[in-house]
Amino acid sequence: MNKLVSLVNVFALLSILAVGGGTAVLPQMKHEAVIQHHWVTAEQFADIYSLGQLAPGPNMNMVAIIGYKVAGLAGAILVLIAFYLPSCTLAFAVGKVWDHFEGSPWRDAVQRGMAPITIGLMLSGVYAIGRTATFNLDHSARHNLITVAISALVTLTLLLRHVNPALLILIGGAVGWFALRMM
Amino acid sequence: MVPSSEKSIGLAGVDAHQRSKRPTIPQLFGVFLYIGATSFGGGVVAYLREHLVERQKWLDPDHFLASLEIGETVPGLISTNVAVIVGGRLRGVLGSVAAVLGMTFPGALGVLLLGLLYARFRGNPEVGATLSGIGAAAVGLIFAVTLQIGFREMKHWRDVAILVPTFILVGIIHVSLLPVLVVLAPIAVQLNHPSKKELSAYHAQQATYHAQLAEHHQEVSTRHAGGEMGS
């Protein structure tokens, strides 16, 4: 019971704090799940995030796995509700009043002001996952070389070409299976 | 439920032409379920646009862009936010619920099944290696998305002056998001505050608009009065 309450508390707060999308709350989610509550290890968190990339739909559905691991199916369902309901309610309310501020210079100021915060938070999210998945001092130099190469090539490809990201994720998995399994 | 959704359509300013293409709740749910089941690899927003604007023609591009703008500004996942707003525009509260449920259900189910497999095969080195590769590719993906948005939005020194402390506080020294946002968001908005000229132009424009509106009302009521007298 206690576990369910802390799951709901953590993910409902993350829902409201996710300024600029799911990546923005990855550092805090990792901190809460790994260090505060010991729900998963850092390695498992990175693995669960990877699994999230393999399923269709919003890539933060992976929060369900954390809920499931802590408290079974009830945990998974509650975490999904806690993570989606608060921000969705807010989005619904703002969607209703947004048109009233059409052309308001203050609306533009909020948008312009929030943009760099959003990008700073996204970079923090990339860094939080990257420290485990791309460059990890617990792994061998060869392992790091390969994961850094995969990340860099995916980034470059996406910046230069229009490719379906799902394809690159699958290729990354295949390269990992081929090059990293002997270690 | 019907009257409230009617009202929301009116508020969103969808014209009569669009009203004819208004989906039923099951249709709405079906299309979002399809998007939720096929949008692999992130970038759900592109799938939403493809289905809602191009295929179903429920929204015109401007309405979609407006929904995206709101979805990017309020907290939460951009894709679910857009689903909520579009569902609400088309069908009120029930529409929002149908859209979000449809879009998240297939992925949530899929990810849970993957999680069960993961728990079973975690010790397997081949599974571990594959996941390491996927994880590294995923980092490359979110880094590319971040850079693309960054190149588009970073136009001024002020932006860097907000971005760098945000990254250091949240990314490096792990300060909680709430205090960071409470402090930095007002500063960021203040740094971008509209100029006096913009504000006065806006107020003047609002005043003209209201004057025109009043004039219009006046005209309509006169015409009504005239019409009644004529009949």
> What is the tens place of the pLDDT at every residue in A13-30?
999 999 888 888 999 999
Instruction: Tell me whether residues B114 and A120 touch, CB distance under 8 A.
Output: no
pLDDT in tens, A34-50: 999 999 999 999 999 98
Helix (H, G, I), strand (E, B) or coil at B165: helix
Task: Show the DSSP H helices in A99-164 as ranges.
Answer: 105-133, 141-160
In tens digits, chain B (231 residues) has pLDDT values of: 334 443 344 444 444 444 447 899 999 999 999 999 998 877 788 889 889 998 999 998 888 888 888 888 889 999 999 999 999 999 999 999 999 999 999 999 999 999 999 989 888 999 999 999 999 999 999 999 899 888 888 888 889 999 999 999 999 998 988 999 999 999 999 998 888 888 888 888 888 888 888 888 888 888 887 655 544
Instruction: Tell me whether residues A56 and B106 touch, CB distance under 8 A.
Output: yes
Residue A115 domain boundaries: 2-133
How many separate domains does chain A show? Answer: 2
- Chain A interface mutation, best of B67, B124, B142, highest count of A Cβ atoms under 10 Å: B142
Give the A window 43-72 contacts with B, CB below 8 Å: 46-62, 64-65, 68-69
A168 in contact with chain B, both atoms CB, cutoff 8 A: yes
- The verdict on A106 and A37 lying in the same domain is yes
From the list A145, A117, A84, A64, the residue with the least C-alpha distance to B118 is: A64
Whole-number pLDDT of residue B206: 85
Sign of the torsion angle spanned by Cα atoms A41, A51, A172, B39? negative
- The verdict on A115 and A151 lying in the same domain is no
CA A134 from chain centre, in angstroms, equals 15
Share of chain A above pLDDT 70, in %: 99
Report the gap between the CA of B72 and the closest CA in chain A (Å). 6
Whole-number pLDDT of residue B227: 58
Rounded to whole angstroms, the Cα distance separating B117 from B121 reads 6
A126 in contact with chain B, both atoms CB, cutoff 8 A: yes
B124 in contact with chain A, both atoms CB, cutoff 8 A: no
| Best mean pLDDT range from A53-62, A149-158, B114-123, B213-222 | A149-158
- The verdict on A101 and A128 lying in the same domain is yes
- pLDDT confidence band for A182 (50 / 70 / 90): confident
- pLDDT confidence band for A181 (50 / 70 / 90): confident
- The verdict on A156 and A67 lying in the same domain is no
From the list B204, B159, B201, B59, the residue with the least C-alpha distance to A111 is: B159
- The verdict on A11 and A56 lying in the same domain is yes
Could you tell me if B147 and A174 are in contact, meaning their C-beta atoms sit under 8 angstroms apart?
Answer: no
Rounded to whole angstroms, the Cα distance separating A69 from A88 reads 25
Instruction: Tell me whether residues B177 and A46 touch, CB distance under 8 A.
Output: no
A1 in contact with chain B, both atoms CB, cutoff 8 A: no
- pLDDT confidence band for A175 (50 / 70 / 90): very high
- The verdict on A18 and A70 lying in the same domain is yes
- The verdict on A10 and A59 lying in the same domain is yes
Residues of B within 8 A of A152 (CB-CB) are 140
Whole-number pLDDT of residue A63: 96
Whole-number pLDDT of residue B7: 39
- The verdict on A21 and A102 lying in the same domain is yes
Rounded to whole angstroms, the Cα distance separating B29 from B36 reads 10
- The verdict on A126 and A143 lying in the same domain is no
CA B213 from chain centre, in angstroms, equals 30
Whole-number pLDDT of residue B20: 47
Instruction: Tell me whether residues B147 and A155 touch, CB distance under 8 A.
Output: yes
- The verdict on A147 and A95 lying in the same domain is no
Q: What is the mean pLDDT of residues A95-103?
A: 80
Taking CB atoms and an 8 Å cut-off, how many pairs form between chains A and B? 383
Task: Show the DSSP H helices in chain B as ranges.
Answer: 2-12, 16-19, 25-38, 44-49, 61-73, 78-121, 125-153, 157-166, 177-191, 196-230
- pLDDT confidence band for A59 (50 / 70 / 90): confident
> Has this prediction a pTM greater than 0.80?
yes
